[in-house]
Amino acid sequence: MQNRRVVITGMGALTPLGNTLNEFSTNLFNGLSGADLITRFDTSKFKTKFACEVKNYDPLNYFDRKEARKMDLFTQFAMVASEEAIIDANIKVNETNADRIGVIWGSGIGGITTFEQEVGGFAMGDGTPRFNPFFIPKMIVDICSGYISIKHGFRGPNFVTVSACGSSTNAIIDAYNYIRLNQADIIVSGGSEAAITSAGIGGFNAIKALSTRNDDPKTASRPFDKDRDGFVMGEGSGALILEEYEHAKKRGAKIYAEVCGGGMSADAYHITAPHPEGEGAIVVMKNTLKDANMQPHEIDYINVHGTSTSLGDASEVVAIKKVFEDHSYNLNLSSTKSMTGHLLGAAGAIEAISCVLAIEKQMVPPTINHSTVDEDLDQKINYTFNQSQSRTINAALSNTFGFGGHNFSAIFKKFD
C-alpha cells in the first residue's frame, strides 16, 4: 500500500513571544527574548527567579469563568492554540467527516499547577480530604485531546503522547503516521505545557538544569555560547493541522508545507544527560532522513534542540556533524529556545511551527544572546547567531530530545 501524503493546513500559537500565530512569527524573526522575572509565585527563595511566561493572558478572554475553573492552565493553552489552528484551516465538521478527524496532543508534565494546589491544600489542612471534584480531570495529561475533541466533535483517533521534552514532536509524528496509513484524514496535533510553578522551577533547580542568570534574564538562554549555564523555562502551546493531501486539495485548503518524515530513537544512556557522542541523536536523524527518502544534502535548516546546556548543545553538534558530514557547513542551525525558553513537552510543536514559518518566509530565525565564542564547538557551522538570515529553505528538520533519552526528529518540506 502506498503511503498517503500529509500536509499542514493550519497553525496556532500561544507563546512567550506572542498570543497568536502572527505575533509569534513577527517576534520570532525579530529576535525577541520572551524571558523576564516570574510573576506567578514568590521566587525570593529560589535559585532561578525568571522564566519565559505567556504575557497578558486572561482566561476570561477565551472561556467563561465556570469553564475556566474546570481546566488547568496547560489545557487552557491547548484549547486556545488549537482553536486558532482549526479556524486557520477552515475545518468544518459534520456527520460525514467527524469519524475521520482526530486529535493527537503532547505534554510532558500536564496539570502540575492543579496538583500543587490540591495536594498543597490537603497537606496544610487537618487531614480531611477536601479535594476539588475536577482535581483528577484537570491534572491528567491526556485531558487536552479530550477537551479539543469534545468542543469540536472530532471522533477520530484521540490520545496524548508523554515523552518528556519530545512529547509534541512525538504527537506530530504519530499524527503523520495515522494519516498516511489511512486511519484519519485530519488530525489536530501539537502540545502544551504550563510548568512555571514553584514545584516546576524548584524541581529543575534541584537537578541544576536551569540558568541562574537572575541579573540579566533576557539574555539567559544562550545556546552555543561559552557562558551558557542552563535552560530557561518556557510555557505555552502550539497547534498544527495535519491533513491528507488529496483531502486538503479537494476542499481547497491553504497548504503551508508538507510533512515528509519522522523518526524516533533512545539514547539508552542516562535519565537526564544526553549521550556525549550524540549516539541517539545520530540514530534519530538518520531514521528521519530514511523515512523521508531524503539525503542529508537536501536539508537546508535544522531547528536544533539547543537548550543552552553545556552537555546538550555540544552533543547535538557532534551528532549533526556525523550525520551531515561536509554538508554541515552548508546548513543553517538555530535554537529558537534562545527566545521562547524551553517549553518542555510543548517545545516540539512550537519548533515545528518555527520550521514551517522559516520555509514560508525563506528565512532562518536566529539564535539570540550569543556574545562569547565556545572554542569547543565547531565555529565553521552557521548557528544563525543574533539575527535572522534569508536563504533558500526547501526542507527543514526539527530535533527534540527528552529526559529518559527520548529522541524525535521530523522533516518539513516546501510544498510542491
Q: SS3 for 229? A: coil
Q: SS3 for 264? A: strand
Other beta carbons within 10 Å of 86: 23
Q: SS3 for 400? A: strand
Torsion of the alpha carbons at 129, 134, 135 and 141, rounded to the nearest 10:
160
Contact 396, 250 (CB under 8 A): no
If phi > 0 it is left, if psi is from -120 to 50 it is alpha, else beta; for residue 296 that is alpha
Q: Name the catalytic one among 144, 260, 275, 342.
A: 342
Residue 270 designated active-site = no
Q: Which three cell numbers stand for residue 343?
A: 517549553
**Residue 146, exposed/middle/buried by CB under 10 A (0-12, 13-18, 19+)?**
middle
- Cβ contacts of 271 within 8 Å, gap of 6 or more: 403, 404, 405
Q: Name the catalytic one among 52, 144, 165, 355.
A: 165
- Cβ contacts of 400 within 8 Å, gap of 6 or more: 165, 166, 168, 169, 305, 347, 348, 351, 407, 408, 409
Alpha-carbon gap, residue 232 to 120, rounded angstroms: 25
Q: Which three cell numbers stand for residue 253?
A: 485548503
Residue 342 designated active-site = yes
Residue with cell 532561578: 48
With CA atoms as reference, report the closest residue to 110 among 81, 76, 158, 87. Answer: 76
State how beta strands 36-37 and 50-51 pair: antiparallel
Instruction: List the end-to-end C-alpha distance of the chain, in Å, as a whole number.
Output: 22
Residue 260 designated active-site = no
Q: Which residues are catalytic?
A: 165, 305, 342
